[in-house]
Structure 1
Amino acid sequence: MDRISGLPDAVLVGILSQQPTRDVVATMVLSKRWRFLWRMVPKLVYDDSYQSNEFGKFSIFVLRSLVLHEAPVIKTLRFKLDQKSCNAIDIGVWFRVIARHVVRKLVIEIVTSSSQTTPAVTLPRSLYTCCKMLVILKLSNTVLLDDAFASIFFPSLKKLSLESMKYPPGGDEFFKKLLLSCPVLEDLYVEQCPDDNVTVFTVRVPSLKYASLYKSQDRVKDDKDGFVINTPLLEHLVISEYSSFQRLYLCLPTAKDAYPIGSVFRSLYHNEDYPRPCWSEPSSIPKCLVTSLETLKWVNYEGYKEEKQVAAFILRNANRLKKAIFSSDDSNDHEKSEMLKELLSSSSPMCSRTCQLRFD
């Protein structure tokens, strides 16, 4: 023990970080050297299955250790709780203390019996306001509440996992709002439970790279169920649909390898596959473009590389163009302004003087 006690604080804290939190806190009684070290451990794991006493004593232990904790940043804070014993009141009290800390990774896992299919433990609304610095959030078998009086915002969240969750009434719109609150989200995992209040999961996240979406095998089949995914940076997509797809719409940069070898859609009766066309500038300029085109209206312009190339070609060569109107349903005012600047910079001097160019 003397040899270990002689190690630097940083090394001892690193060793303690690998141990269960109940054991880490117990080291305070070893000697004066260890009395306060546990308070600096950046990883806290509270598992009530380790507790032989009733949940009330476990809850007090969690509260006291969180109050006394002094680490400037808690890298991992994990709760593994039995649904039969934990309750929303205790969790709400813990969250009021958590708000004093900077937490990077938060995991809340509620353990249920095999016969329990609907989550019953409700998380406090303070989850949306006290964890602004989260990078990773993993929730399992819990109930989320909407908060009409406070904005939901996770500005640093990069990974979100929602397993067997229940959402507020009108869950489709709540799920949209939840994802909108994560502007830099890169990794999304969603696993539905039979009664989650969401029919269509809309995933419209510009920064998303990885998405794994699973529907419950026990879910009552509904023709309206599905996913809407609009993620231009997506690199990896997993969809598990136990009831099988019946309608599928894909918008892909190219039709090549759209479906990996072995893909089978036995229930599919409607498929729309609209590849994004590649653009190669023609060797000669069409005469009608130079001498006749006066009005251009481009609907659903999104500013993709190919779209910019086509638009630049038209605006450089349409000498008689008087009006060019572009529109985009999915872009905000700032994005439209930037796209308009690009269009203006790519147009010919004559077009810039004589053509009315605008973005609706």
Structure 2
Amino acid sequence: MAPGISRVDRISALPDPILVHILSFLESKMVAATSILSSRWRDLWHSVPTVDLDDALFPDEEELFVRFAYAVILSRDVTQPILNFRLKSEYSLSAQCDVELWLNTAIQRQVGRIELSPPIYSDIKLPIGILTCSTLVVLKLANLTVDRISTVQLPALQTLYMDGVEFAKREYVDMILSGCPNIEDLQIESLDLYLNFRPLDITFGNLIHVQFSVYDCRWWLLLRLLNSCPLLQILELRKEKKISASLSDRLSRHYPKTVPGCLSSHLRACTIDNFHGADVDIQFAIYILQNASVLKKMTICCSSSSRKENRFEILKKISKVARISTTCELLFE
């Protein structure tokens, strides 16, 4: 070492709250590994407010992963909260009872954020304790089955993402949405939502961003949903399946007579991805352009399977429509 260079460990000299904050950005396996650095670090990891479990770091060692998860959960300082809980699996996952125990421990420790992502086609069920967690602010779920719901009370929830979540009963979607009165950011992927969706009595007074990826979307039912979102500013949609022509003709007759309030005064950006150009899709895009008074940007992303000449026809049909918003930019991608 060059003369004059100090050997002082400045990081270890930092106060405990700062070190714990730094460790909260790491995956739990890395956090636990810091305990061997020195006696200064030995017990710090027990107070880190983030539990981040990813079995990709334990390839082909499911039993070891489960033992490690229990060690992380059960060896924590019981006086310290678990503010963030993430469980992600690429290859395998433990039994339902293990997942529920880990999650229930987090719920008891004032958890504010839960991310749960088992493998695709897993048989993991949504632990119903999540749906009555009063401290939960962010909930991200993927590849789960919702097989039973009794009560949904999520008064603090602001962000809800559901990707590939399957519901045993149609009304479970309605129950979850109705139990989140303060939601601001809602994203639903790969869900046959609008074939079954019934308009809710609740108003999402704080919802400003909606992102849906759905099959056989009935646009008129979406507009009914928008009636419950008076302050919506960003609407992002992805069509996963082309709707039949016979159904398209029938759907256009169901558009509401009253324009949703968010279109009249708040919607600023709308994106439709995987746009096939069916009449019903074009009618919906035109409806938005003709009624969204403060719209700044309308983006149409054509399906990769669309032929070049079909894309040009779609462009002509939508471009010639008079837009109610004089500042609206129309983009085709």
2:233, 2:268 within 8 Å by CA — same for their partners in 1? Answer: no
Q: Deviations over 1:141-163 (max 9, x none)?
A: 11123233xx2111100000001
Q: Distance in 2 between matches of 1:63 and 1:189?
A: 31
1:100 aligns with 2:108: yes
| 1:182 and 2:172 matched | no
- Map Cα deviations across residues 159-178 of structure 1 (whole Å, 9 max, x no partner): 00001101122x2x211111
Superposition map of 1:23-172 within 5 A: 23-52=30-59, 54-70=61-77, 72-82=80-90, 84-112=92-120, 118=121, 120-129=123-132, 131-148=133-150, 151-169=151-169, 171=170
Paired letter, 1:210: H
1:199 to 184, 196, 199: 196
Distance 1:16 1:183 in 2: 33
**Residues 286-308 of structure 1 deviation map (CA, whole Å, 9 limit, x = unaligned):** xxxxxxxxxxxxxxxxxxxxxxx
- Contact (CA 8 Å) 1:120, 1:143: kept in 2 or not? yes
TM-score normalised to the size of structure 1?
Answer: 0.62
| Equivalent residue, structure 1, for 2:23 | 16
Deviations 1:295-335 (A, max 9, x none): xxxxxxxxxxxxxxxxxxxxxxxxxxxxxxxxxxxxxxxxx
TM superposition shift of 1:84: 3.9
1:93 offset after TM fit, Å? Answer: 2.1
Secondary structure class of the residue paired with 2:11 = helix
Please say which structure displays the higher CA radius of gyration. Answer: 1
Checking the alignment, whether the CA contact within 8 Å between 2:144 and 2:165 is kept in structure 1 is yes
Q: Which amino acid aligns with 1:233?
A: L
- The CA distance in 1 between the partners of 2:271 and 2:82, in whole Å, is 44
Amino acid corresponding to residue 78 of structure 1 in structure 2: R
Q: CA deviation at 1:25?
A: 1.2
TM-score in terms of structure 2 length: 0.66
- Matches of 1:186 and 1:80 in 2, distance apart? 24
2:324 aligned residue: none
Asked if the contact 1:119/1:141 (under 8 Å) is kept, the reply is: yes
1:236-251 matches, cutoff 5 A? 236-243=234-241, 246=248, 247=251, 249=255, 251=259
Paired residues of 1:168 and 1:197 also in contact (CA < 8 A) = no
Compute the displacement of 1:49 (Å). Answer: 0.7
Structure 1 position 124, deviation (Å): 1.9
Q: Distance in 1 between the 2:208 and 2:196 partners?
A: 23
Query: Structure 1 counterpart of 2:10, which letter?
Result: R
CA contact (8 A) 1:106 1:138 kept: yes
Q: CA deviation at 1:202?
A: 4.7
Q: Secondary structure, in 3 states, of the residue corresponding to 1:137?
A: strand
SS at match of 1:188: strand
User: Following TM superposition, by how much is the alpha carbon of 1:34 offset from its aligned partner in structure 2, in angstroms?
Assistant: 1.3
Q: Identical aligned pairs, as a percentage?
A: 24
Q: How many residues align?
A: 262
Mapping for residues 339-358 of structure 1, pairs under 5 Å? none
Bigger share in strand: 1
Change (3 A) 1:87 1:210: same
Q: How does 1:247-258 map to 2 (within 5 A)?
A: 247=251, 249=255, 251-253=259-261
Q: Is the CA contact 1:119–1:165 (under 8 Å) kept in the aligned structure 2? A: no
Unaligned residue ranges in structure 2 (runs of 5+) = 1-7, 294-333
Alpha-carbon distance in 1 for matches of 2:266, 2:232: 16
Aligned amino acid, residue 190 of structure 1: I
The match for 2:298 is none
Quote the residue 2:325 is aligned against: none
Q: Does the 8 Å CA contact 2:195/2:218 hold for their aligned counterparts?
A: no
Find the aligned partners of 1:6 and 1:54 in 2 and give their Cα distance: 36
1:244–1:267 Cα contact (<8 Å) kept: no
Q: Contact (CA 8 Å) 2:267, 2:292: kept in 1 or not?
A: no
Amino acid of the structure 1 residue aligned with 2:117: E
Q: Which runs of 5+ in 1 are unaligned?
A: 113-117, 278-360
User: Measured at CA, do residues 222 and 158 of structure 1 come closer, stay the same or move farther in structure 2, by a change above 3 Å?
Assistant: closer
Change (3 A) 1:57 1:197: farther
